[in-house]
A and B are shown apart, each in its own frame.
Chain A
Amino acid sequence: MRFAFTDEQAMIAETAKAFFAEQATSERTRAAMARTGADDALWQAFAAELGLAGVAVPESEGGVGLGMVELAILAEEAGRHVAALPLLASIGLAVPAILAGGSVGHKARLLPRLAASDLVASFAEAAPGTTWIDGALTGAALHVPHGARADLFVVAVAESAVLVERDAPGLTVTPLTSMDQTRPYARLDFGAVSAEPLADPAAALVAARRTGALVIAADALGGAQACLDRTVAYARERVQFGRAIGSFQAVKHRLADMMVAVEQARSAVYWAACAIDEGSDEAAFAVHAAKAFACDTYSDAAGEMIQLHGGIGFTWEHDAHLYFKRARSNRGLLGTPDWHREQIAALAGLDDAA
Chain B
Amino acid sequence: MNLGFSPAEEAFRADAAAWLNAELSGPFADVRGLTSLTEMPERRRDWEKRLGEAGWSCVGWPKAYGGRDATLAQQVIFAEEYARAGAPPRLNHIGIELAGPTILAFGTDDQKAHFLPKIARGEEIWCQGYSEPGAGSDLANVRTRAWREGDEWVIEGQKVWTSLAQFSDWIFVIVRSEDGSKGPKGLSFLLVPVDQPGVTVRPIHQITGEAEFNETFFDGARTDAANILGAPGDGWKVAMGLLGFERGVSTLAQQMGFRNELDAVIAAARANGEAQNPLIRQRIAKAEIGLRLMRYGALRMLSETQGGKLNLAALTYKIQWATWRRDLGELAMDVLGQAGETIAGGDYAFPALPNLFLYSRADTIYGGTNEIQRNIIAERALGLPREPRGDLK
Any B CB within 8 A of the CB of A134: no
| Chain A residues, CB < 8 A from B290 | 264
CA distance A4 to B284 in the complex (A): 28
Considering only CB atoms, which chain A residue lies closest to B77 in the complex?
A1
Q: How far is the CB of A285 from chain B (nearest CB, A)?
A: 8
Contact A247 B275, beta carbon cutoff 8 Å: no
Given A232-B383, A286-B292, CB of A338 within 8 Å of CB of B282: yes
The reply to whether B289 and A289 form a contact with Cβ atoms under 8 Å apart is yes
Does A293 belong to the interface (CB within 8 Å)? yes
Cα-based distance from A354 to B271 in the complex (angstroms): 5
In the docked arrangement, what's the CA distance between A61 and B271, Å?
A: 52
> A243 at interface (Cβ–Cβ under 8 A)?
yes
Residue pair B375, A278 in contact (C-beta under 8 Å): no
Among A143-171, those with CB < 8 Å from B are none
- When the two chains form their complex, are residues A4 and B377 in contact, meaning their CB atoms are under 8 A apart? no
Cβ-based interface call for A109 (8 A):
no
Main secondary structure of the interface of A (DSSP, over half): helix
B371 touches A253 (CB 8 A): yes
Chain B residues with Cβ below 8 Å from A341 are: 281-282, 285-286, 289
Q: Provide the residues of chain A in CB contact with B269, threshold 8 Å.
A: 350
* Chain A CB within 8 A of B296 CB: yes
Let me know if A345 and B378 touch, CB within 8 A. Answer: no
* One of B1-9, B114-122, B124-132, B338-346 contacting the partner: B1-9
**Cβ of B304 under 8 Å from chain A:** yes
Q: A260-B319, A292-B289, A341-B286 are in contact. Are A2 and B1 (CB under 8 A)?
A: yes
CB of A199 to closest CB in B, whole Å:
31
0 or 1 for each of B367-393: is its CB under 8 Å from A? (1 = yes) = 000010111011101111111100000
In the complex with contacts A252-B384, A280-B3, A260-B377 CB distance below 8 A: yes
CB of B384 within 8 A of CB of A247, answer: yes
| Smallest CB gap from A340: residue in B | B285
Per-position 1/0 for B17-50, Cβ under 8 A of A: 0000000000000000000000000000000000
Residues of chain A within 8 A (CB-CB) of B5 are 1
For residue B293, CB closer than 8 A to chain A, the reply is yes
What 0/1 readout, one digit per residue, does chain A (47-69) give for beta carbons within 8 Å of chain B? 00000000000000000000001
Interface size class on chain A is 35 or more
Task: Identify which of B278, B316, B385 contacts A236 (C-beta below 8 A).
Answer: B385
> What residues of A have a CB within 8 angstroms of the CB of B385 in the complex?
236, 243-244, 246-247
Q: Please pick, from A5, A243, A266, A285, the residue contacting B1 in the complex, using a CB distance under 8 A.
A: A5
When the two chains form their complex, are residues B281 and A342 in contact, meaning their CB atoms are under 8 A apart? yes
Once bound together, how far apart are the Cα atoms of A292 and B5, in whole Å? Answer: 27
In the assembly, what is the distance between CA of A133 and CA of B73, in Å? Answer: 55
Q: Assess the A289–B293 pair: CB atoms within 8 A.
A: yes
Q: Which of A122-130, A172-180, A190-198, A267-275 contacts B (4 or more CB under 8 A)?
A: A267-275
Chain A residues whose C-beta falls within 8 Å of the C-beta of B379 in the assembled complex: 252
Taken residue by residue from 304 to 330, chain B's Cβ proximity to chain A (1 for < 8 Å, 0 otherwise) reads as 100000000100100110000000000
Q: In the complex, which residue of chain B has the Cβ closest to the Cβ of A69?
A: B1
B334 within 8 A of A: no
Residues from chain A with a CB closer than 8 A to the CB of B184 are none
For A352, the chain B residues whose CB sits under 8 A away are: 270
A259 adjacent to chain B (CB < 8 Å): yes
The complex places the Cα of A3 from the Cα of B375 at a distance, in Å, of 28
Residue of B nearest to A275 (CB): B3
Interface membership of A310, Cβ < 8 A: no
Q: Provided the pairs A260-B319, A278-B4 are in contact, do residues A345 and B284 lie with their beta carbons within 8 angstroms?
A: yes
Check if B300 is an interface residue, CB within 8 A of chain A: yes
- Contact at A268–B1, with CB atoms within 8 Å? no
**Chain B residue contacts of A259, Cβ below 8 A:** 316, 377, 381-382
Residue in B closest to A267 when the chains form the complex, CB atoms: B296
B residues within 8 A CB of A4?
1, 300, 303-304
- Across-interface contacts of B292 in A (CB, < 8 A): 268, 271, 285-286, 289
Indicate with 1 or 0, residue by residue over A208-239, a CB within 8 angstroms of chain B CB atoms: 00000000000000000000100010011000
User: Which A residues are CB-close (under 8 A) to B164?
Assistant: none
Whole-angstrom distance between the Cβ of A258 and the nearest chain B Cβ = 9
Q: Which of A3, A228, A253 contacts B374 (CB 8 A)?
A: A253
Whole-angstrom CA separation of A248 from B378 in the bound complex = 11
- Alpha-carbon gap, A246 to B282, bound state (A): 34
Asked if B303 contacts A2 (CB within 8 A), the reply is: yes
Q: How far is the CB of A14 from chain B (nearest CB, A)?
A: 15
Contacts A/B (CB < 8 Å), 6 sampled: A249-B387, A271-B293, A341-B281, A342-B278, A345-B285, A345-B288
